[in-house]
Amino acid sequence: MTKPKVATTSLAGCFGCHMSLLDIDDRILKLVELVDFDKSPVDDIKTFTGRCAVGLVEGGCANEENVHVLQDFRNHCDILISMGDCATMGGIPAMRNTIPLQECLDVAYKTGVTVYNPDNVVPNDPDIPLLLDRVYPCHEVVKIDYHLPGCPPSADTLWEALVALLTDKPMELPYELIKYD
């Protein structure tokens, strides 16, 4: 029997959730027994090689590329999981949501107190993805099957959730694993 495949990605996130995933330590050996990794920063596969059982998405959508990747994930994954607060709610990047886009760019590249930009140029290369008007949590862009809260969700949380899904057992997330205060 071929192993189910897992894909992961970080959109507008900080890779903290991926770090947390690596925090499962030696359990990663068990994980590779359970699954193969497809498109993921873990193995540096850039494009999907086929259909995946589970997709883990870190970060929300801040630009058009994020949306593109997320839609690609939806098209390739049976189960899509929002991993962490940015994917679930927008998180820190969404703090810009109450500020008009132009103002954000001005502060970031021109008027901010720590900005050094003698030419006063706002980067605008055609290769740079266009920003969205605001940061969207993943479920506002595509259908998301599960949300794992946390900044980041702990390694144990991710482990329990993944293993339960892959072995078709009920997910047991005790209070300690989803309590964040």
Partner 1 sequence: MNTSLEQEVKSICASCDNDRTRMMDIVRAVQETLGYVPGHAMDLIASELGTHRVEVESVVSFYAFLSSRPQGKTVIRLCDDIIDRMAGIEHIAEVFKEELGIDVGETTDDGALSLEFTPCIGMCDQAPAALINDVPVTALSSDRAREIVQGLKNGEMPKKLVHRLGDGNNADPLVHSMVQNNIRKRGDVIFSDHTSHDGLKKALGMSPAEVIREIKAARLRGRGGAGFPTGMKWDFTRGAEGEHKVVICNADEGEPGTFKDRAVLTERADLLFEGMALAGYAVGADTGILYLRAEYAYLRQYLENVLKERRDKGLLGKNVCGKEGFDFDIRIQMGAGAYICGEETALISSCEGLRGDPKNRPPFPAQKGYLGRPTTVNNVETFCCAVRIIENGAAWFANLGTHGSPGTKLLSVSGDCEGPGIYEVPFGITVHELLKEVGAENCQAVQIGGPSGQLVGPEAFDRKIEYDDLATGGSVMVFNNDRKVLEIVDYFMDFFIEESCGYCTPCRVGNVLLKERLAQIMNGKGTPEDLPYLERLGNTVKTASRCGLGQTSPNPILSSLQNFRSVYDELVKPASDGMQPSFDIAAALKTSEEIAERKSTVFTTA
Query: How far is it, in rounded angstroms, from Cα 116 to Cα 113?
Result: 9
* Shortest distance (Å) from residue 32 CB to partner 1: 28
Question: Of 136 and 159, which has the nearer Cβ to partner 1?
Answer: 136
Question: Of 6 and 144, which has the nearer Cβ to partner 1?
Answer: 144
The closest alpha carbon to 41, from 67, 13, 63, belongs to 13
Torsion sign (Cα): 54, 41, 94, 175 = positive
Q: Which residues bind to partner 1, rule: CB under 8 A?
A: 64-65, 67-68, 71, 74-75, 80, 100-102, 105, 124, 126, 129-134, 136, 139-143
Question: Of 24 and 87, which has the nearer Cβ to partner 1?
Answer: 87
**Distance set, CA 57 to CA 119, 125, 134 (Å):** 37, 27, 18
* Shortest distance (Å) from residue 19 CB to partner 1: 28
Question: Of 30 and 117, which has the nearer Cβ to partner 1?
Answer: 117
* Shortest distance (Å) from residue 101 CB to partner 1: 5
* Shortest distance (Å) from residue 172 CB to partner 1: 22
Q: 67, 133 in Cβ contact below 8 A?
A: no
CA 147 to chain centroid, in Å, comes to 11
